[in-house]
Structure 1
Amino acid sequence: MDIKSCYIGPEISPEQFIPEHLFLFLAKGILNGYDGSNYITMKSGDYCIVRKNHLARYNKQKENNKFEKVVVIFDEIYLKQFLEKHQLKKEKYKPKEAFIYLDKNEQISSFINSLMPYYNGMGKI
């Protein structure tokens, strides 16, 4: 699992291809994103799933001179193993957007905050 913290000025970043599904938790700052159809604005404490095989544009803004995010990448091998182990019921759900907001849940915020003491400052836990 990687924790990444970075800042790239207020300009729009070039389009990025998203190769794997990922969970994005914005710890500090503001992130504005566009996936070709929908605009999103994430603020500190927001989180979402970013879907693979999409192009997205985004810009990052510091808040109180800080921009920090936690990114958990769910590669295809991990997801297949998870499905085999847990035998989840599949639903036909085909969202078109790249960014899918998740309902606020105190357990998610608590989990992310519990990781911070283990962060080594080099992008790794």
Structure 2
Amino acid sequence: MTSLQEKASRAFTYSCYHSRNRSGEQFVAEHVFSYQIAGTLAVEDGNQTWFFREGDFRLVRRNHLLKFVKEPPAGGEFKSVSVFLDQETLRDFSIEYGYKAEKSPASNAIISLHANPLLLGFINSLGPYQDLNQSGNENLLHLKRREAILVLLQTNPELQSILFDFSEPGKIDLEAFMHRNFHFNVELKRFAYLTGRSLATFKRDFEKIFHLSPSRWLQQRRLQEAHYLIKEKKKAPSEVYLDLGFEDLSHFSFAFKKMFGVAPTKILQT
């Protein structure tokens, strides 16, 4: 069981950026309730893209792969505040108050929430807590997170079936999932988990479908997509390598040349 101190240490997060920030991909392990203070945020999950501006609220659902691009306003800072709603806190809350998922939750990775005085009042109340993610404030932060849950349920009762759905991902179509999510640079165990498989079963099923190991197929599929984007869409290699799951430009260029026999910059010039 996670200690109260460990949970409190990641209860609230304030994000501030002076320049455009491409956060890359992220596996969202817990529900996250967020408010956009300044700047814009673009988020995509392989199926859909969301744009959030100053004053927007959102709930990011757990067990999703997402990519983020954070853009500060002209001459200002990108700012957002997030409250992390971990499974243990939600389970305890459901037992105490009798909440449970009453129907199958929606499948969207992100839910846009309409602004209202109660949500705004809660966000404004977080100001004094900005510097309290440290030892000695665990109980106070724990209560504030429970307040966030109550406020969300009061303003958006339909979230009950999302917040208190404690089921794990079920077994899904592996081939369709990988074609949709190959560009996310996460460990194979994440892909396995999200497709409802153990790592061993994931690898076995993968090779039956694609006739390649997951690592080999992922690299080939990402390079094929890069070739298309560079040649047909005229995108620079520096624009595409991060979006396609490569960690650095030199490794991408080396792998690209090895597969296609020519450097990606040469493809761009043709």
Q: Shorter chain as normaliser: what TM range? A: 0.7 to 0.9
Give the whole-Å Cα distance in 2 for the aligned partners of 1:23 and 1:53. Answer: 14
Q: Relative to structure 2, which stretch is displaced further, 10-19 or 98-107?
A: 10-19
Indicate the structure with greater helix content: 2
Give the whole-Å Cα distance in 2 for the aligned partners of 1:70 and 1:100. Answer: 16
Matched, 1:53 2:63: yes
Give the whole-Å Cα distance in 1 for the aligned partners of 2:83 and 2:55. Answer: 15
Residue 103 of structure 1 corresponds to which residue in structure 2?
114
- SS in structure 2 of the partner of residue 14 of structure 1: strand
Task: Kindly report the root-mean-square deviation, in angstroms, between the aligned alpha carbons of the 2 structures.
Answer: 2.2
Residue 130 of structure 2 corresponds to which residue in structure 1?
119
Give the whole-Å Cα distance in 1 for the aligned partners of 2:23 and 2:84. Answer: 20
Q: TM-score, normalised by structure 1?
A: 0.86
What is the CA distance between 1:65 and its match in structure 2?
Answer: 1.2
Residue 81 of structure 2 corresponds to which residue in structure 1?
70
Residues 65 and 3 of structure 1, relative CA distance in 2, 3 Å threshold: same
Q: How many residues align?
A: 124
Letter in 1 for 2:123: I
* Unmatched segments (≥5 aa) in structure 2: 1-10, 135-140, 142-270
Give the whole-Å Cα distance in 1 for the aligned partners of 2:76 and 2:33. Answer: 24
Q: Relative to structure 2, which stretch is displaced further, 54-63 or 109-118?
A: 109-118
* Unmatched segments (≥5 aa) in structure 1: none
Summarize deviations over 1:57-100 as a string: whole Å, max 9, x none.
11001124111111110111000001001112532132222111
Residues 8 and 35 of structure 1, relative CA distance in 2, 3 Å threshold: farther
Q: Relative to structure 2, which stretch is displaced further, 98-107 or 73-82?
A: 98-107
Indicate the structure with greater strand content: 1
Letter in 1 for 2:119: I
The list of structure 1 runs, each at least 4 consecutive aligned residues, that deviate by more than 4 angstroms after superposition, is 122-125
Q: Which has the higher contact order (CA 8 A, sep 6+)?
A: 1
What is the CA distance between 1:6 and its match in structure 2?
Answer: 2.9
Letter in 1 for 2:89: Y
- SS in structure 1 of the partner of residue 23 of structure 2: coil
